[in-house]
Structure 1
Amino acid sequence: MVRQASRRARQAADEDALARLRAPRMAQGLIGHEQQARQLLEALRGGRIGHAWLFSGERALGKATLAFAFARALLRKAGACPDDGQDHAVLFDEPDPPPATEEREDPVARLFAWGDDEALRRHLAEGIEPRALVLDPAESALVEGGRASQQIRVDDVRRIQHFLAMREEAGERRVVLIDDADLMTTAAANALLKMLEEPPPDVVFLLVVHRLHRLPATIRSRCRQLRFHPVDSTRLADWLAERCREAPAADRLAAASLAGGVPGRALILLQDGCLEHYRALVAAFAQGEENAAGLAARGRVIETLAKLEPPRQRLLLELLRALPGRLVRNLLLETAERAGAEDVGLLLEEEQALRERIAAAGGKTELLHAFRQEIVHRLEEAERLYLDLKAVLWTLLARFDALMRA
């Protein structure tokens, strides 16, 4: 009975994680990225689709959401082209055009409307659309019962070859979408490069990458590139006020500040309890190791973080990496305020306590710079060597304490 209950609990957790992972695929809109949507619309209307697109930028900006919207538009069934006297070299019909002013103002909504088909949305999100292949290492790991993979191997890319070998109706478009494409091994990237060098007819490759420099230049050069940038913080805060009305206003402001203009990051902070986990992590650095109670509190924080899903762990580590920069920026803004500036910048209570501990140690920018170097070094080492998260956090705390004593 206990084993069955445990198995059911794990299955429910995996299903929940899979639903979260697929949520961007089901989204019916997003904030920002009007310029990128406009370029995709122009390609659709002109019939100059090309064979490969590259969506690059920070994680959780909305790249995959827009890529799936574009995929739906590409796969929409053939129908009557708009009767506007123009030569539309497309295989599907466009929705009734909105007024020109509306189109200029909201190309994102326009792109989502073009591929607005609920059945297609669901089939593509669940990976059962016969005209599309979605390659996502995180999804594959969940489906296979493991943790999120940190690589796309050559065997994964060979699935594309099998997909392309399937017979389809002449002239019917197909889509290959690779999320986390920068996780490809060298062998996997070489296998994909061969397909891009001799692209099959009526196949469009969509690659989503978070670290563009990790993708070989030979692949980048064969794709049309769309670069995504953070959203304005004020606009993000307004969006959160509309999207997360149940969240306290103070939490929304904190999430908007911490997210750095990344909408998905802000949502995770508010909806998944990550904001409280981040507060606890910063407090572990702020309180020091003076007594057994402090060490025990640190241990509880680390044990909790180690049990989180990989996407939540990744977000917290990204925020930790950005923490020294936030503190330096706040320090500079505070100095500017004394000279007449108005905005000092928002720090959480725990961040302020950490800043005070650093100031009490006799240093400010120098210690923060050393702190940042230590975090970057340890996290890059952990990613490269697949180190245990608990060991990495304990090491970071010990190194930070040593900096405070130096």
Structure 2
Amino acid sequence: MLTGHSKQKKYFKHVIDNGSLSHAYLFSGPDMIGKKTFALELAGSILGTDLDHNPDFKFIAPKVGEGESKIYIEDVRDFKRFMSLKSYGGDKRLVIFDNAHFLTSEAANALLKILEEPPLGSVIILISSVPNMIPATILSRCEEVRFNELSSREVEIYLADKKLKEDDKEFLATLARGRIGLINNLIENEAITEARRVIDDLRKLFNAGIYEKMDYAKKVHERALRRDSPQGYYSQFVDYWLNWVSVHLRNSPKNEKIVKNLLSLHQIVSQPQYNHRLALENFLLNL
């Protein structure tokens, strides 16, 4: 069961009980706060069976494992064919578009045509942390449901029964800043030590010379290219930096500039079409 987001849970219980589900929703909010988990649990509530073997459910996202970074026109055509079929288990068919901001322009146009005349019984959920990258014409046809970070108390309760050292719990709570998905990822992947190392790297880089900074950017780039690197490696550690700076350097006169530059860096490394190494080098040179 997903932790937090009680307001959203209450809202959807009401619309399901009253049979007033909309045809299309946009789940917006920061990365790793439970939007996808909530959407999957909602789909299970609506369709009532195991989603992995449910012919009335479809999940669409960039096929990162196959080297793709976008949602293409072929994906939307497949979705259109899926929606044209009659429901197997009742009167609903549900599709989730995860990271919907990665729709290509052709895919977005094709999706818009479907949203303009949605099939009877369809429920379409778009998930995005950057909805401003989705065409306004699509956004206007979706009911937006905003998700926010969990409160400090909710995070504390969630971490209470985790078998972790107290200083690790405090570190996770500070680093994640209410994003339960990030906490889960770090625990499940046993990556707390790695996250601590990344933060320690930033502390050292404040006083490093140009050569050391360029060498660091080179090593990060080489790490990102490895097959065993996690998806979005650049944006992951930049996110760690941003959270740490926001909490620990709030009284520093340099903080505003650093946070601004980190936000710009995070936006760049979150999009595959940009040169991530060059962006990191520019940030470090201005650190």
TM-score bin (small chain) = 0.7 to 0.9
TM-score by length of 2: 0.85
Compute the displacement of 1:319 (Å).
Answer: 2.2
1:249 corresponds to which residue? 166
Greater mean alpha carbon deviation, residues 381-390 or residues 204-213: 381-390
Shift, 1:236, TM fit? 0.2
Aligned: 1:181 with 2:104 = no
Equivalent residue, structure 2, for 1:134: 59
Instruction: State whether residues 213 and 284 of structure 2, in contact with CA within 8 Å, keep that contact through their aligned partners in structure 1.
Output: no
In 1: Cα distance, 2:217 partner to 2:255 partner = 21
With a CA cutoff of 8 Å and minimum separation of 6, indicate the structure with the bigger relative contact order. 2
Deviations 1:183-229 (A, max 9, x none): 21222222111111111111111221211222223222222221111
Tell me the CA shift for residue 267 of structure 1: 1.9
1:278–1:316 CA contact under 8 A, matched in 2: yes
Cα distance in 1, alignment partners of residues 213 and 90 from structure 2: 66
Does residue 49 of structure 1 match 2:2?
A: no
Please, which of 258, 265, 281 is the counterpart of residue 371 of structure 1? Answer: 258
Q: Can you give the 5+ residue segments of structure 1 that lack an aligned partner in the other structure? A: 1-28, 77-116, 124-128, 332-363, 401-406
Q: In the alignment, what sits opposite 1:31?
A: 3
SS at structure 1 position matched to 2:30: coil
Written as runs of structure 1 = structure 2, the 5 A alignment for 1:252-271 is: 252-271=169-188
Q: 1:310 is matched with which residue?
A: 231
Matching of residue 214 in structure 1 with residue 133 in structure 2: yes
Is 1:75 aligned to residue 47 of structure 2? Answer: yes
Q: Deviations over 1:2-42 (max 9, x none)?
A: xxxxxxxxxxxxxxxxxxxxxxxxxxx01111110111111
Pairing 1:197–2:109 present: no
Alpha-carbon distance in 2 for matches of 1:189, 1:203: 18
- Segments of structure 2 that go 5 or more residues without pairing to the other structure are none
For residues 60 and 312 of structure 1, the distance between their equivalents in structure 2, rounded to whole angstroms, comes to 14
CA gap of 1:290–1:172, structure 2 versus 1, over 3 A, is: closer
In structure 2, give the amino acid aligned to 1:236. Answer: V
Q: Deviations over 1:298-330 (max 9, x none)?
A: 76566446542114543222222334322333x
One of 386, 389, 399 as aligned partner of 2:273: 386
SS at match of 2:145: strand
- Alpha-carbon deviation of 1:74? 1.8
CA distance in 2, matches of 1:171, 1:285: 54
Amino acid at match of 2:27: F
Report if the CA contact (8 A) 2:96-2:126 is conserved. yes
Structure 1 residues 32 and 174, CA gap change in structure 2 (3 angstroms)? same
Q: Distance in 1 between matches of 2:182 and 2:195?
A: 12
Q: Which amino acid aligns with 2:100?
A: A
Matched residues, number: 283
Q: Tell me the residue number matched to 1:60.
A: 32
- Higher helix fraction: Structure 1 or Structure 2? 1
Q: Is the 8 A contact 2:55 2:88 kept in 1?
A: no
- Preserved CA contact (<8 Å) 1:57 1:227: yes
Q: Is the 8 A contact 1:62 1:263 kept in 2?
A: yes
Match of 2:94, SS state, is strand
The SS at the match of 1:226 is: strand
CA contact (8 A) 1:54 1:220 kept: yes
**Bigger shift: residues 49-58 or 295-304:** 295-304
- In structure 2, relative to structure 1, the CA distance for the partners of 1:34 and 1:298 (3 Å cut) is same
C-alpha separation between the residues in 1 aligned to 2:18 and 2:210?
68
Output the TM-score relative to the length of structure 1. 0.62
Contact 2:265/2:283 (<8 A) preserved: yes
Residue 382 of structure 1: how far off its partner (Å): 4.2
